[in-house]
């Protein structure tokens, strides 16, 4: 692996520290007890980093998101780790009846609501639901949505890296919340299949995780989803009857030897 790919993360860390230092210090000054609540502090840091980098992260991925999210989302859409609500901008009002944003960082909620309103989803008519629980709280999500088995589409963009107990969480979401025929769509950075890259992902994860609200670089989230026994068989062509991609595939043009190695996935739950 190239040294620039191994140690480039230090530049990312430096930018993140620069972006979040002022507001984080102010938050500690206003509430010194934050120093004893590292998880809360990490949320403040991540919020301020995402204010600076969230839009860029979204804009660079627009074509991929259109072909994954816009083309396949319908009915009730559960957005895991909604952040500032970037996903709602890719949902078509003609096909999507309810946008459900799962976002434990409540600092993000005002942004989610503003973005969703602009996209035509509103809490007033019930087409927008914002929940502060985690993706792992499937019971809370189910009861807020009026029952289990009520979700048509689950979307996860750069979130499975942060959820606790990801294998069980993904399974619960698919088994308990997703309807038969519903789809699980994801775009995630995952554990590399290359040994040297996965070693460095493992090496950097403790530092990165501490600064970025639990974000792990070394999770095989794509495998966790793919290995579930609830999916319709994937055709050999990797495309469904409409010619749309299904299964797991890579980000076109992305370097393989990268600490943030992304995989894109689309799975359909068996009826
Ligand atoms: C990298 S951001 C991605 C945000 C958004 N999906 C996007 O693409 O802009 C990851 C998000 O996951 C949220 N998150 C962290 N732990 C979570 C959990 N247990 N369940 C759901 N979301 C979580 C974070 O608060 C953060 O907003």
Kindly report, residue by residue over 100-118, the tens digit of the pLDDT.
999 999 999 999 999 999 9
Chain-wide mean pLDDT for the chain? Answer: 95
Distance CA 21, CA 248 (A): 38
Using CB distances shorter than 6 Å, the residues near ligand 1 are 54, 58, 80-83, 86, 102-105, 108, 134-136, 157-159, 162-164, 213-214
Domain borders along the chain are 3-57, 62-268
Judge whether residue 140 has pLDDT over 90.
Answer: yes
Q: Which of 44, 99, 89, 83 is nearest to 66 (CA)?
A: 89
Q: How many angstroms separate the alpha carbon of residue 44 from the centre of ligand 1?
A: 13
Q: Which helix H or strand E contains 45, and what residues bound it? A: helix 38-59
Atom in ligand 1 nearest the alpha carbon of residue 108: 27
Mean pLDDT lowest for which of 72-81, 105-114, 207-216?
207-216
Confidence band, pLDDT 50/70/90 cuts, at residue 16: confident
pLDDT value at position 252? 85
Listed in sequence order, the residues at least 6 apart from 269 whose beta carbon sits closer than 8 Å to its beta carbon are 174, 178, 179, 180, 181, 182, 183, 184, 230, 231, 232
Sheet holding 128-131, edge to edge: 128-131, 96-102, 75-80, 151-157, 178-190, 261-268, 247-250
Task: Please count the other Cβ atoms lying within 10 Å of the Cβ belonging to residue 75.
Answer: 16
* Residue-wise burial string across 29-45, b where 16 or more C-beta atoms lie within 10 A, e elsewhere: eeeeebeeeeebbbbbb
Q: How many angstroms separate the alpha carbon of residue 151 from the centre of ligand 1?
A: 19
Structure-token pair, residue 144: 């807020």
Instruction: List the beta bridge partners of residue 184.
Output: 154, 267
Query: 178 or 252: which carries more pLDDT confidence?
Result: 178
Measured on CA atoms in the order 100, 153, 75, 61, is the torsion positive or negative?
A: positive
Superfamily of structural domain 62-268: Vaccinia Virus protein VP39 (3.40.50.150)
């Amino acid at each position: 692996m190239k040294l620039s790919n191994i140690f480039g993360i230090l530049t990312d860390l430096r930018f993140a520290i620069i972006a979040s230092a002022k507001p984080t210090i102010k938050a500690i000054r206003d509430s010194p007890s934050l120093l004893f609540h590292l998880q809360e502090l990490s949320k403040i840091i991540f919020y301020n980093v995402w204010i600076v980098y969230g839009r860029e992260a979204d804009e660079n991925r627009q074509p991929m998101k259109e072909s994954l999210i816009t083309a396949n989302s319908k009915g009730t859409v559960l957005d895991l780790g909604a952040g500032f609500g970037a996903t709602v901008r890719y949902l078509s009002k003609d096909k999507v009846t309810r946008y459900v944003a799962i976002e434990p960082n409540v600092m993000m909620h005002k942004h989610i609501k503003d973005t969703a309103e602009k996209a035509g989803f509103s809490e007033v008519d019930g087409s927008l639901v914002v929940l502060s629980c985690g993706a792992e709280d499937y019971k809370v999500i189910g009861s807020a949505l009026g029952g289990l088995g009520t979700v048509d589409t689950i979307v996860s963009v750069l979130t499975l890296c942060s959820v606790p107990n990801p294998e069980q969480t993904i399974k619960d979401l698919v088994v308990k919340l997703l309807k038969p025929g519903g789809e699980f769509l994801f775009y995630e950075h995952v554990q590399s299949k290359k040994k040297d890259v996965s070693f460095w992902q493992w090496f950097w994860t403790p530092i990165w995780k501490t600064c970025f609200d639990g974000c792990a670089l070394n999770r095989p989230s794509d495998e966790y989803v793919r290995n579930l026994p609830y999916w319709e068989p994937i055709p050999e062509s990797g495309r469904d009857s409409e010619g749309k991609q299904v299964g797991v595939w890579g980000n076109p043009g992305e370097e393989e030897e990268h600490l943030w190695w992304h995989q894109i996935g689309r799975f359909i739950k068996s009826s």
